[in-house]
């Protein structure tokens, strides 16, 4: 994954695409920082988790900039988000996530909100990086209540 990002960064550099280059440098920097923190080379799944976190932070920033009336900065963040999302796996549909949540609830034998932790752990493992945790959590809450 990191090599793909590096190659794309070189291509952006050669093409003179400064905005894309900046976004890729930022993303590569986050991945390398995580590698240094963990003391090992990250797997593709770990890189995807770092990119998903970056995407979530960018979405939050976009909302804050819009709330503050800074549409120019929101546009910059939206562009960077579009670059990050290119490298993330396609997200599962809500119907697919709901089906996994229902199956997980049945497998775990959950009956109430007290079992939410068990269900969330198993559901997140089943979903992997295919869906945002907040969506899974929302559906688990709906199904258990």
Q: Where are the domains of the chain?
A: 2-87, 94-144
Per-residue pLDDT band at 139 (split at 50, 70, 90)? confident
pTM of the model: 0.69
pLDDT at 25: 92
Same fold, 2-87 and 94-144: no
pLDDT at 140: 86
Tell me the pLDDT tens digit for each residue of 56-70.
Answer: 899 999 999 999 989
Reference 32, options 5, 57, 56; nearest CA is: 5
Say how many residues make up the chain.
Answer: 145
Residue pair 24/14 in contact by the 8 Å Cβ criterion? no
pLDDT at 129: 72
Q: Which two tokens stand for residue 42?
A: 């990250």
Mean pLDDT calculated for residue range 128-138: 80
Tell me the pLDDT tens digit for each residue of 69-121.
Answer: 898 898 999 999 999 988 888 878 888 888 888 888 888 887 878 888 888 88
User: For the domain 94-144, what is the CATH code?
Assistant: 1.10.10.410
Q: In the CATH hierarchy, which fold is given to the domain comprising 2-87?
A: Hypothetical Protein Yqey; Chain: A; domain1 (1.10.1510)
Tell me what the pLDDT averaged over the chain comes to.
Answer: 87
């Amino acid at each position: 994954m990191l090599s793909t990002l590096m190659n794309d960064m070189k291509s952006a550099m050669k093409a003179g695409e400064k905005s894309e280059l900046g976004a890729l440098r930022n993303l590569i920097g986050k991945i390398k920082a995580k590698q240094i923190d963990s003391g090992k080379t990250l797997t593709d799944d770990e890189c995807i988790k770092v990119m998903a976190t970056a995407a979530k932070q960018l979405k939050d920033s976009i909302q804050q900039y819009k709330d503050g009336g800074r549409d120019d900065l929101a546009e910059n963040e939206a562009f960077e988000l579009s670059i990050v999302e290119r490298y993330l796996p396609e997200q599962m549909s809500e119907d697919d996530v709901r089906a996994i949540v229902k199956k997980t609830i049945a497998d775990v034998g959950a009956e109430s909100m007290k079992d939410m932790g068990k269900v969330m752990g198993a559901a997140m493992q089943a979903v992997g990086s295919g869906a945002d945790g907040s969506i899974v959590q929302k559906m688990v809450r709906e199904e258990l209540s």
